[in-house]
Amino acid sequence: MISNMTHTIRQFFPQLPVYPALGNHDYWPQDQLPVNENDIYEAVAKLWSPWLQPEALVTLRKGGFYSQLIKPGLRLVSLNTNLYYSPNKVTANMSDPAGQYQWLQDTLELSRQNMERVYVIAHVPIGYLPYAKSTTAMREGDNERLVDIFRNYSDIIQGQFYGHTHRDSLMVLLDRKGKPVNSIFVTPAVTPYRNFLEQYSNNPGIRMYLYNSQDYGLQDLWQFYLNLTEANQEEKPNWRLEYVMTKAFGIKDIQPESLHELALKFEAPESKEFQKYFTYFMVSYNDTITCTEECKTVQVCSVHFLDHKSYSECVQKLKGGDL
Ligand SMILES: [Zn+2]
C-alpha cells in the first residue's frame, strides 16, 4: 500500500516535495508500531529516500519520525504519534517511546535558536475526539505531555496538521492564560469511514493551504471533495471545491486569533457557523444531519480545550446548557 502510494505520487508529481507521516494502519499487527529498527521502518525509509535527507532517514529508521528543513527558516517535524495511540500495547508502559519526546524538545529548542518556524505533522491527533465524549485519541498522559510541549514552543510552531479521524475538524491551542496560540487542523481522508458510534460517514477530501512566505503563518485553506453518491451514480469522479475557509466563515485568515473568534460563535444556540462546520466535518456527506445537545457540547469543547482540566470544565459547564 505505502509502496503503491509512493510510486503513484512520484509518477504523477516527480518534482513535488513530499513529507509523509506514518499512520496506525501502516504497520502489522495494526497499531503496534515499535520503538526500534524493524522491517517496516526500514522499508519506508527506502521508499521515501527520494523525498527525505539522510539525516531524516536516520530517525525514521529508528523510531518512525523525522524533521527536515523545507526551506531556510521553515522546518517540518513529522511525529510518530502512533507510539502514543491508545491501542498500541508495545509502548503502553514506556515513559518516552523511541526517545521521541526528548528528540522533539531538542529539535524545537534548536529551531528556536536558529530562528526557524515549524510545521508539525502527524497521524493520530492531539486533543479530544470531536465525536466521543471525554476521549482522547492518544493515551491521556501522552496527550497532556504533548500539549505541554506545544504550549512551550507555540511561538515557533506555525501550524499543526493531523489525520486519523477521517473527518474535517479544527482545534485552537490556548496557552495557560487562555490566549489562542496555535492553529491545529485535522484533515479529512480520501477514504470514507463510519465509526460504530456515528450515523454518518465522510466523502473523500483533499486540501490545499496558503501560507505567508515571510513568517510562514497560515492564511487560508481550500477544501476539495468528491461527492461519492453522485460519483457512483454517474460512474465518474468529479472532484469539486467544497469551501474556502475565510470565505465560508467570514474570517480574515486562519491564524489562532481568527479561529478562536470563530469557535466562540459556534457556542451560540442554533449557530449558523456551527451547522456549517458540522456539515464540513462530514465532508458534506449529508447536510440534513444536525448536531445538538451532547453532540454539540462534545464538538465545541474539543475545539478549544485540549488538556484534561480545561476540557472537563468545558463539558461540565455546557452540560444541560441550551447549545
Ligand atoms: Zn488512523
Three-state SS sequence of the chain: CHHHHHHHHHHHCCCCCCCCCCCCCCCCCCCCCCCCCCHHHHHHHHHCCCCCCHHHHHHHHHHCCEEEEEECCEEEEECCHHHHECCCCCCCCCCCHHHHHHHHHHHHHHHHHCCCEEEEECCCCCCECCCCCCCECECHHHHHHHHHHHHHCCCCEEEEEECCCCCCEEEEEECCCCCEEEEEEECCCCCCCCCCCCCCCCCCEEEEEEECCCCCCEEEEEEEEECHHHHHHHCCCCEEEEEEHHHHHCCCCCCHHHHHHHHHHHCCCCCHHHHHHHHHHCCCCCCCCCCCHHHHHHHHHHHHCCCHHHHHHHHHHHCCCCC
Cα-to-centroid distance, 72 and ligand 1 (Å): 31
Cα-to-centroid distance, 228 and ligand 1 (Å): 21
Cα-to-centroid distance, 260 and ligand 1 (Å): 27
Please say if the pLDDT value at position 318 is more than 90. no
Cα-to-centroid distance, 297 and ligand 1 (Å): 24
> Rounded to whole angstroms, how far apart are CA atoms 172 and 179?
10
The residue-averaged pLDDT of 171-175 equals 98
In the structure, what pLDDT confidence band is assigned to residue 208 with cuts at 50, 70 and 90?
very high
The residue-averaged pLDDT of 228-242 equals 97
Q: State the pLDDT at residue 320.
A: 60
The residue-averaged pLDDT of 52-69 equals 98
In the structure, what pLDDT confidence band is assigned to residue 321 with cuts at 50, 70 and 90?
low
In the structure, what pLDDT confidence band is assigned to residue 28 with cuts at 50, 70 and 90?
very high
Q: State the pLDDT at residue 128.
A: 98
Cα-to-centroid distance, 161 and ligand 1 (Å): 13
Cα-to-centroid distance, 123 and ligand 1 (Å): 6
Cα-to-centroid distance, 1 and ligand 1 (Å): 14
Cα-to-centroid distance, 121 and ligand 1 (Å): 13
Cα→Cα distances 21→178, 282, 283, Å? 30, 23, 22
pTM: 0.96
Cα-to-centroid distance, 25 and ligand 1 (Å): 6
Q: State the pLDDT at residue 197.
A: 74
Ion ligand 1 — residues with CB under 5 Å?
Answer: 23-24, 164
CA dihedral 201, 185, 3, 40 (to 10 degrees): -110
**For residue 256, which of 318, 188, 306 has the smallest C-alpha distance?**
306
Cα-to-centroid distance, 162 and ligand 1 (Å): 10
Q: State the pLDDT at residue 29.
A: 97
The residue-averaged pLDDT of 82-94 equals 97
The residue-averaged pLDDT of 288-317 equals 95
Cα-to-centroid distance, 205 and ligand 1 (Å): 15
Cα-to-centroid distance, 322 and ligand 1 (Å): 33
The residue-averaged pLDDT of 293-315 equals 96
The residue-averaged pLDDT of 296-320 equals 93
Cα-to-centroid distance, 226 and ligand 1 (Å): 20
The residue-averaged pLDDT of 7-23 equals 97
Cα-to-centroid distance, 34 and ligand 1 (Å): 16
Give me the chain's average pLDDT, please: 96
The residue-averaged pLDDT of 47-58 equals 98
Q: State the pLDDT at residue 323.
A: 60
In the structure, what pLDDT confidence band is assigned to residue 2 with cuts at 50, 70 and 90?
very high
Q: State the pLDDT at residue 12.
A: 98
In the structure, what pLDDT confidence band is assigned to residue 220 with cuts at 50, 70 and 90?
very high
Cα-to-centroid distance, 191 and ligand 1 (Å): 11
In the structure, what pLDDT confidence band is assigned to residue 198 with cuts at 50, 70 and 90?
confident
Cα-to-centroid distance, 23 and ligand 1 (Å): 5
Cα-to-centroid distance, 78 and ligand 1 (Å): 15
In the chain, % of residues over pLDDT 90: 95
Cα-to-centroid distance, 320 and ligand 1 (Å): 33
Cα→Cα distances 215→122, 158, 183, 322, Å? 22, 8, 15, 41
